[in-house]
Amino acid sequence: MTRALAITVSTRAAAGTRTDLSGAALVAGLRAFDFEVDGPLVVADGEPVDAALRAGIQQGYDLIISTGGTGISPTDATPEITTRLIERLLPGIPEALRADGVKRGIPTALLSRGVAGTAGQTLIINLPGSPGAVRDALEVLAPILGHAVDQLSGADHQGADQP
Amino acid sequence: MTRALAITVSTRAAAGTRTDLSGAALVAGLRAFDFEVDGPLVVADGEPVDAALRAGIQQGYDLIISTGGTGISPTDATPEITTRLIERLLPGIPEALRADGVKRGIPTALLSRGVAGTAGQTLIINLPGSPGAVRDALEVLAPILGHAVDQLSGADHQGADQP
Amino acid sequence: MTRALAITVSTRAAAGTRTDLSGAALVAGLRAFDFEVDGPLVVADGEPVDAALRAGIQQGYDLIISTGGTGISPTDATPEITTRLIERLLPGIPEALRADGVKRGIPTALLSRGVAGTAGQTLIINLPGSPGAVRDALEVLAPILGHAVDQLSGADHQGADQP
């Protein structure tokens, strides 16, 4: 069973001055995939993201998804912090999420700097910090998360050696 | 009011042996957004791009857009020089521009290596060196430039914390 | 005439325990473009890819295309090894290949980490390791390979200075 960790990155949610709707949407969406989901862990923007991701990697989650901090406001630093911990980037994931946002009529989706990639056998994906963006992203990710987690764990390919 | 600088990168335009149609298209397009526009500054390929970008960042422009030098000819170096000055890359912008070019029936649009990102509170975007590519790109950028400039300056989000 | 080298990256094909269908599809597809094609050179995942690419660059091929090793299995390392040898990345190429795969109903295409770029006057492109992915990719690449090879060799632009 896929073990997933949801992390909300929001200084205001961490301070309790905003309700964490994005994290709730993320946990609900991942549970709908029948994953075993922990979180949302709620952390402030910046270095607290580093500690949360490191702990999740060490605890061996198959999947860590964050929501928030992917824009270009002065405090947005989730992509930089995530990139430091990633061994192999998967540029196709943020690419597909941005393209999907634009197709849905949200042109500012292309300002998301979120990254995705692997750290050991953990797949890490940054999502923007809104419940709508989280729900849209999970629709895009639905057909690939299982395959990605299997590949990461070294499961052998069946038939062709794709991709 | 958004203050923008247009830079034309073309060794031949800088030498006066070619008319700078791309820079003219860029300035006209940015003025149509009601931005206060300086330029086009016309510089040769290579290191002169560095000096022009640095000056623009120091002068505090909200937006610097270059046209030219994004291909793979031996002299094309705009993306490398721009990347050196960028603090936070915005991969979604060149991605969207290339995808738009392909959709318009210009498959070679995918050979553009132009980058986008932020340096301090300045948004920098490389465009290819043709008037048509500039006009097409400004259509893609129209719905996001204002939002990006606002976010960069630290303007607070309204409602949701997207993206 | 464009001189191309095809490289198959597959530990099992290199060991003779799998038929190299991807490499055969790649050579056939490149010959259909009227290129002069060598290969497929068949190498195991990992460092043998480095030696094959270096030899191809030194031999002055206009184009080197690899198939295989672009996923996230523990042994997949083609993108990292290729990136080390590339001087100027062309992110638009893998972007377009992934987007095309998704459009064709293959969502896992977005997990390909293949890169493209230039080393000297050689254009290098990584493709996934399945015959179908190779054939689909060559359709996407058909309208741009000739233009890219010309630009790389420093051929002058006609008319506009695009891109």
Task: List residues in chain A touching B: CB distance below 8 A.
Answer: 10, 12, 18, 21-22, 68, 70-74, 79-80, 91, 94-95, 98-99, 102, 107-113, 128-133
ipTM of the complex: 0.92
Q: Do C151 and B111 touch (CB under 8 A)?
A: yes
Whole-angstrom distance, CA of residue B81 vs CA of residue A3 = 43
Token reading at C149: 């090879």
Query: Does residue A64 have a pLDDT over 50?
Result: yes
CA dihedral sign of residues C52, C57, C58, C62: positive
Q: With respect to residue C81, please indicate whether it lies within any of the assigned structural domains.
A: yes
Cβ within 8 Å, pair B163-A22: no
CB-nearest to B112 from C92, C99, C147 is: C92
H-helix or E-strand spanning residue C27: helix C21-32
pLDDT tens, residue order, chain B (163 aa):
899 999 999 999 999 999 999 999 999 999 999 999 999 999 999 999 999 999 999 999 999 999 999 999 989 999 999 999 999 999 999 999 999 999 999 999 999 999 999 999 999 999 999 999 999 999 999 999 999 999 998 775 544 444 4
Let me know if residue C158 belongs to a domain: no
Structure tokens, B19: 């008319």
Residue B25 CA: distances (Å) to CA of B40, B67, B111: 10, 10, 21
**For C32-63, what is each residue's pLDDT tens digit?**
999 999 999 999 999 999 999 999 999 999 99
Q: Which three-class secondary structure state does DSSP give residue B135?
A: helix
What is the predicted pLDDT for the residue at A162?
44
**DSSP H/E element including B124:** strand B122-127
Can you give the residue range of the structural domain that contains A82? 3-152
- Cis peptide bond prior to A163, omega within 30° of 0: yes
**pLDDT over 90 for what percent of chain A?**
91
Binning pLDDT at 50, 70 and 90, where does residue C162 land? very low
Helix (H) or strand (E) holding C26: helix C21-32
> Is C13 among the domain residues?
yes
Tens digits of residue pLDDT in A107-129 = 999 999 999 999 999 999 999 99
pLDDT bucket at A156, cuts 50 / 70 / 90: low
Q: Residue A89 corresponds to which tokens in the numbers above?
A: 């980037």
Say whether C160 and B108 touch across the interface (CB within 8 A): no
CA gap B107, B110 in Å, rounded: 6
Q: Which residue has the higher pLDDT, B156 or C143?
A: C143
pLDDT at position B8 is 98
Chains touching A, CB cut-off 8 Å, 3+ pairs: B, C
Domain count, chain A: 1
pLDDT value at residue C2: 95
Collapsed DSSP state (helix, strand, coil) of residue A138: helix
In a domain, C157, yes or no: no
Query: Which residues, at least 6 apart from B25, have a Cβ–Cβ distance to it below 8 Å?
Result: B67, B131, B134, B135
- Residue B100 covered by a domain: yes
* A44-53: pLDDT as tens digits: 999 999 999 9
Share of chain C above pLDDT 70, in %: 95
Task: Classify residue B19 by burial, with Cβ atoms within 10 Å: 0-12, 13-18, 19+.
Answer: exposed
User: Residue A157: is its pLDDT beyond 70?
Assistant: no
H or E stretch at A148: helix A131-152
Residue C117 CB neighbours (<10 A): 22
Which of C103, C118, C123, C162 best probes binding to B when mutated, by most B CB atoms within 10 angstroms? C162
Q: Residue A154's pLDDT band (boundaries 50, 70, 90)? A: confident
| Residue B158 is assigned to a structural domain of this protein | no
Flag whether B39 is in a domain: yes
In terms of Cβ atoms closer than 10 Å to its own Cβ (0-12, 13-18, 19+), residue C156 is exposed
CB atoms within 10 A of CB C157: 15
Closest CA to A118 of A68, A78, A152: A152
Angle at B45 between CA B44 and CA B48, to 5 degrees: 65
How many Å lie between the alpha carbon of C85 and the closest alpha carbon of chain B? Answer: 16
The C-alpha atoms of residue A70 and residue A56 are separated, in whole angstroms, by: 19
Instruction: Find, among A134, A148, A116, the residue nearest to A32 by Cα.
Output: A134
Nearest to B111 among C90, C160, C161 (CB): C90
For residues C136-159, average pLDDT: 85
Name the minimum distance, in Å, from the CA of A125 to any CA of chain B.
14
Segments in chain B forming alpha helices (H): 11-14, 21-32, 47-58, 78-85, 92-103, 131-152
The whole-number average pLDDT for the span C102-106 is 95
Residue A54 has pLDDT above 80, yes or no: yes
Q: What is the CATH number of the domain that holds A101?
A: 3.40.980.10
A92, A94, C85, C148 from C141: Cα distances, Å: 18, 23, 21, 10
| Burial degree of B79 (CB within 10 A; 0-12, 13-18, 19+) | buried
Residue C156 is predicted with a pLDDT of 54
pLDDT at C80: 97
Structure tokens at A107: 């042109």
| Greater pLDDT, A11 or A155 | A11
Task: Assess whether pLDDT exceeds 50 at residue A33.
Answer: yes
Task: Provide the pLDDT for residue C154.
Answer: 79
Contact B129, C161 (CB under 8 A): yes
**Strand stretches in chain C, DSSP E:** 3-9, 36-43, 63-67, 88-89, 116-119, 122-127
